[in-house]
Amino acid sequence: MSSVKTILPPAMLGMLGGGQLGRFFVIAAHEMGYKVAVLDPDRNSPAGKIADVHLCAAYDDETALQSLAEQCAAITTEFENVPASTLEFLAQHRTVRPAAASVAIAQNRVAEKNFFRDSGFPVAPYAVIEQAIDIPAADSGLYPAILKVARFGYDGKGQARVATPEEASAAFEKFGAEVCVLERMLRLDYEVSVVLARDADGNVETFPAAENSHLNGILDVSIAPARGDAAIREQARQLAVDVAQKLNYTGVLGVEFFVSQGRLLVNEMAPRPHNSGHYTIDACVTSQFEQQVRVLAGLPLGDARQHSPAVMVNLLGDIWSRGEPSWDAAYAEPGLKMHLYGKHEARPGRKMGHFTVVGDKADQTLQGALKVRHLLG
């Protein structure tokens, strides 16, 4: 028997953030019979537009947080940069998952890297840069390196590739002398990620590892399950479970890995569903978003089994540069599942949607997805 009180439909669930991840949460919650209140300052946020209640306010707006706590039985987040004080405030009144302490680690690269290293998880060699003089003092063996800001970096933003301490110092100044991590640039064989759900009783369901390729620091294509060595997939799964256990994590967690010279290294984690887990919507018994609803509501975790090979492709604003993409050509692919996020403005680099191609055979699925990507690109 679970020790956790179950929240049943038609209760209202709360979501901090109104982006596409929040929107998929709203869709999953609606399908399951729940209502959702979304807090997001953007009037046109993708999740806010389809939620039962949209609190259009800042993440530290006390009146809005009060209202969220009053209306919702439990509250979760779709992004890691919610102020810790917001989660702590809400947790005084309602169940909040994941816990503020887990989010605090995931939202700061220094805390995150130190947590991985101190817990014995393999990571790329790095140094913490708090001030300019930390750069000449850092191990010269780290170069060529990547300098990454500790806070608010995403999709490769707040990152600079640096070949020398001089370049690192210039990049550090360019980032406004914010605390950074200086990390060795690895030669990557490939990248994988594992999304899992862990409930309040410690039960875990892991989705199959996805193989990810990035373009300009932004996820481009995810192949699920990941190809290559089965031992790597199993090791990634186990490491992701260990990370969740070590955090005593409750919620959906995405863990990114590098495979470099045959070795698996932990890159970073996200205390929420992950872009590379979007394939689960169309190719798994339970999606990562349904798992997020289940954990939040205290329901048993769903079966994370993947029933079909799948390839997911992100659609960035760039492909709108010459008008609406050729949707009719895309829909000619029979296994294609299209997901557009309802964002008004298509800016370069902005995630506007994604599609997943599912099929019987992994290689045909990949060919189909790449064909559609080419047609839309």
133-161 burial: b if 16+ Cβ within 10 Å, else e: ebbeebeeebbebbbbbbeebebeebbbe
- In the complex, what is the shortest distance from the CB of residue 152 to ligand ADP, in angstroms, rounded to a whole number? 10
Give the contact letters, 268-297, x = binds to ligand ADP (CB under 6 A), - = no.
x-----------------------------
Of Mg ion, ligand ADP, none, which one sits near residue 199, judging by CB under 5 to 8 A according to partner kind?
A: none
- In the complex, what is the shortest distance from the CB of residue 360 to ligand ADP, in angstroms, rounded to a whole number? 30
Does position 183 interact with ligand ADP (CB under 6 A)? The reply is yes
DSSP for 329-367 reads HHHTSTTEEEEE---S---TT-EEEEEEEE-SSHHHHHH
Q: Which residue reads 């481009």 in tokens?
A: 220
Does position 165 interact with ligand ADP (CB under 6 A)? The reply is no
The terminus-to-terminus CA distance of the chain in angstroms comes to 51
- In the complex, what is the shortest distance from the CB of residue 43 to ligand ADP, in angstroms, rounded to a whole number? 27
Choosing from 256, 282, 290, 333, the residue that interacts with ligand ADP (CB under 6 A) is 256
Choosing from 88, 134, 155, 189, the residue that interacts with ligand ADP (CB under 6 A) is 155
Of the pair 146, 196, the CB lying nearest ligand ADP is at 146
- In the complex, what is the shortest distance from the CB of residue 330 to ligand ADP, in angstroms, rounded to a whole number? 26
Does position 52 interact with ligand ADP (CB under 6 A)? The reply is no
- In the complex, what is the shortest distance from the CB of residue 155 to ligand ADP, in angstroms, rounded to a whole number? 5
DSSP state of 144: S
Residues of span 2-21 touching ligand ADP by CB under 6 A: none
Of ligand ADP, Mg ion, none, which one sits near residue 124, judging by CB under 5 to 8 A according to partner kind?
A: ligand ADP
Choosing from 153, 225, 325, 353, the residue that interacts with ligand ADP (CB under 6 A) is 153
Joined tokens for residue 177: 């002398």
Distance CA 311, CA 362 (A): 8
Of the pair 117, 337, the CB lying nearest Mg ion is at 117
- In the complex, what is the shortest distance from the CB of residue 75 to ligand ADP, in angstroms, rounded to a whole number? 24
Residues of span 86-145 touching ligand ADP by CB under 6 A: 124
Distance CA 171, CA 135 (A): 11
Residues of span 252-291 touching Mg ion by CB under 5 A: 256
Cα separations (Å) of 179 from 109, 118, 151, 164, 297? Answer: 9, 19, 8, 18, 37
Distance CA 255, CA 79 (A): 14
Of the pair 72, 124, the CB lying nearest ligand ADP is at 124
Cα-Cα-Cα-Cα torsion 81, 85, 86, 90, nearest 10 degrees, comes to: 140
At 155, which helix (H) or strand (E)?
none
Q: Which stretch binds ligand ADP (CB under 6 A): 56-64, 97-105, 182-190, 293-301?
A: 182-190
Distance CA 266, CA 257 (A): 5
Phi, psi dihedrals of residue 159, rounded to the nearest 5° = -130, 145
Does position 156 interact with ligand ADP (CB under 6 A)? The reply is yes
Distance CA 365, CA 127 (A): 41
Residues 6+ apart with CB under 8 A from 11: 34, 35, 73, 297
Does position 217 interact with ligand ADP (CB under 6 A)? The reply is yes
Q: Which residues bind Mg ion (CB under 5 A)?
A: 256
Q: Which residues bind ligand ADP (CB under 6 A)?
A: 124, 146, 148, 153-156, 183-186, 188, 191, 214, 217, 256, 267-268
